Amino acid sequence: MRKLALSDDILLSIEKPARYIGGEINMIKKDPSMVDIRFCMCFPDVYEIGMSHLGIQILYDMLNLREDLYCERVYSPWIDLDKIMREEKIPLFALESQDPVKEFDFLGITLQYEMCYTNILQILDLAQIPLKAEERTTEDPFVIGGGPCAYNPEPIADFFDLFYIGEGETVYDDLMDAYKSWKCQKTGRQEFLKMAAQIPGIYVPQFYQPEYHEDGTLADFYKLIPEAPDTIIKQVERDMSHTFYPEKPLVPYIKVTQDRVVLEIQRGCIRGCRFCQAGMLYRPIRPRALEFLKQRAKSMLESTGHDEISLSSLSSSDYRELPDLVYWLIDEFHHKGVNISLPSLRIDAFALDVMSKVQDIRKSSLTFAPEAGSQRMRNVINKGLTEEMILKGAKDAFIGGWNRVKLYFMLGLPGETDADIEQIAVLSDKIAREYYEIPREQRNGKVNIVTSTSIFVPKPFTPFQWAPMISKESAEKKRFFLLDQVKKQLNAKSIKYNCHDADVSELEGVFARGDRRLCNVILEAYQNGCFYDAWSEYFQYDKWVQAFAVHGLDIDFYIKRERGEDEKFPWDFIDIGVSKQFLLNEYHQSMKETVTPNCREKCAGCGAAKFGCGVCVEDRSQ
């Protein structure tokens, strides 16, 4: 039998023991004693969530191509096992070898959302690794963070030795080579960090010092050693068709959130929605070649046996060869029972044709993300979707037999008025009206509209990084106002309104644009029992409020004020290509309700062109 870190007694006392046994199909097996570097990749949430993440899968495959390295995985133990591991002092272990994570050379943690920050501390704590980087010794692994939240690493800077700013495909090899040469030198921990700090894209927080004005804003941020760079430049994979992409993804035993093949068709987005962080971080858009995608789709479906493939990107409709790819997938695989899912697809004739071929119309629903109810507000956020497009798409779909629609909106966007919110209800109703316009005999029962709102959270590196976020109280008011408006509509009975928790959004807002002083707040909250904050049933708002109070920090300071145009931001030392000046211009444009054309219509000069790839070097005449 394969070695397991947990005894039968424990595995039989907890929920879903298969979360902890590893051994999944396509798992990489190596002899740990035969490698120079042991790397443990971590997604700080429960197995089913973490296993659904494409980024880790890419890095896992890429790192394991090195013969001198064994990359393994770990996820957050669920509450039940967490308790047992603490009681019995069982060190956190990697799934592949079942060896303790503390014996590894690296622990890489992917940072996908702010509400996982306490789970990072749980991971370190259970792994028996000192929580703060400064307390670690040569016996401990180097803890490295990456992913979207690494673009403002400051609120968790104390817990990490390094951050990798940018896309993982580029400098991991250099970092690993540096590590090997450091290991031979047998010098101190600092020496390796110094070497790492000189690799492009690597940020070593302990080599930098923030200072604050009396009002709490950042006064200065400077490096402490000459080897550290002043700015960290985002790493970009320039050629998406000649790079690492798994051919044999892991196949978990238990059902995970993404129980399917995920094919990333392109990275980046041309749209420039002003609230969207991913849309700015991953500029410029870089499509993968059609042949590359076909080859990977085939090998991944064959090696996993999955019965579904999902095409992943921020806006699939902007992939120019999408019809070629999708019809090829249908021809090759649909008769073998493979379903094709296309999230983030604009509903048009093509989308409806594809959906009618691969999905059960009676069960599937249409999804629109207008994000704002009024056209005025959609101009503010630069969301190019018009009411006409939505109604046309919905009408065509209704005629095609669909009768379920999901709508996504945000509340609390900059400059939002009651009239804008009312339009969310009105638009929902107009869609329902479209349905009842078609002759009764062509309808498929009643129409079912689900309207959801989330609270707008301003994020770093977006044009709204200066904007204030609405308070919890105001969010509450807006929700009730919208609920009332929905009730007033003619088709109120066909519209169901859902909303996102305002407490969680508030903290998300704090951490998104927070500074290094928040490290102690996060540590305090964790020590008082907060973790799994992203899970509403475990989120303890009161303990968070208390933690802020203990450290004399004010939630409102981070979220409620509009930030000054000359204010220094904690994340300013990172260069994502898109310039701060461009973002500020966009902020001004938003206030004028002016739309900026997308990257393919007209270059807006955001700054990402300096990477010399993707849409920035595309021939725009086609």
Partner 1 sequence: MKARLKFSKTGTMRFIGHLDLMRYFQKAFRRADIAISYSQGYSPHQLMSFASPLGIGLSSDAEYMDLVLEDTEQVSDFITRINVVMNDEITVTDFILLREEARSSMSVLAGCDYCIAVKPGKDSFLCEPARRKEMLEQFLGRESVLVLKKTKRSERMEDIRENIYCLTDSPEAFAAFTGRDCRTLSLEKGGYLPVLYCQLTAGSIVNIKPEQVLKALCEQEKETYDPFAYQIHRMEMYADIHAKKGEIHTLASEIPCSLAALSEFERIDSFQ
Q: Provide the binding-site residues for partner 1, judged by CB under 8 A.
A: 1-2, 4, 8-9, 11-12, 17-18, 21-23, 25, 251, 253-255, 301-307, 336-337, 360, 362-363
Does residue 390 sit in helix, strand or coil? helix
CB closer to partner 1 out of 305 and 564: 305
CA gap 12, 27 in Å, rounded: 23
CB closer to partner 1 out of 261 and 530: 261
- What is the smallest separation between the CB atom of 210 and partner 1, expressed in angstroms? 47
- What is the smallest separation between the CB atom of 3 and partner 1, expressed in angstroms? 9
CB closer to partner 1 out of 157 and 300: 300
Contact (Cβ atoms closer than 8 angstroms) between residue 218 and residue 569: yes
Task: Calculate the alpha carbon distances from 568 to 221, 547, 565 in Å.
Answer: 9, 25, 9
> Kind and range of the H or E element at 297?
helix 290-304
Buried/exposed code over 308-325 (b: 16+ C-beta within 10 A; e: otherwise):
bbbbbbbbbebbebbeeb
- What is the smallest separation between the CB atom of 358 and partner 1, expressed in angstroms? 13
116 is written with which tokens?
């996982």
- What is the smallest separation between the CB atom of 302 and partner 1, expressed in angstroms? 7
CB closer to partner 1 out of 445 and 564: 445
CB closer to partner 1 out of 8 and 566: 8
- What is the smallest separation between the CB atom of 99 and partner 1, expressed in angstroms? 15
- What is the smallest separation between the CB atom of 444 and partner 1, expressed in angstroms? 14
194 is written with which tokens?
């110094």
CB closer to partner 1 out of 273 and 340: 340
Cα 408 versus chain centre, distance: 17
CA dihedral 261, 262, 263, 265 (to 10 degrees): 160
- What is the smallest separation between the CB atom of 262 and partner 1, expressed in angstroms? 15
CB closer to partner 1 out of 18 and 419: 18
Does residue 167 sit in helix, strand or coil? coil
CB closer to partner 1 out of 2 and 183: 2
Geometric angle at alpha carbon 91, from 58 and 53, rounded to 5°: 20
CB closer to partner 1 out of 29 and 83: 29
- What is the smallest separation between the CB atom of 88 and partner 1, expressed in angstroms? 14
- What is the smallest separation between the CB atom of 184 and partner 1, expressed in angstroms? 37
Task: Name the DSSP class of 271.
Answer: S
- What is the smallest separation between the CB atom of 25 and partner 1, expressed in angstroms? 7
CB closer to partner 1 out of 23 and 188: 23
CA gap 122, 523 in Å, rounded: 10
Contact (Cβ atoms closer than 8 angstroms) between residue 90 and residue 127: no
The DSSP annotation for 231-268 comes to SEEPB----TTSS---SS--B-SS--SS-SEEEE-EES
- What is the smallest separation between the CB atom of 288 and partner 1, expressed in angstroms? 24
CB closer to partner 1 out of 18 and 483: 18
Name which of 571, 606, 559, 603 is nearest 586 in CA terms.
Answer: 606
CA gap 488, 462 in Å, rounded: 35
CA gap 505, 270 in Å, rounded: 27
Buried/exposed code over 478-501 (b: 16+ C-beta within 10 A; e: otherwise):
bbeebeebbeebebeebbebebee
Q: List, in order, residues 6 or more apart from 304 with CB less than 8 Å away.
A: 25, 26, 248, 249, 251, 261
Contact (Cβ atoms closer than 8 angstroms) between residue 218 and residue 570: yes
- What is the smallest separation between the CB atom of 257 and partner 1, expressed in angstroms? 14
CA gap 298, 279 in Å, rounded: 29
CB closer to partner 1 out of 361 and 604: 361
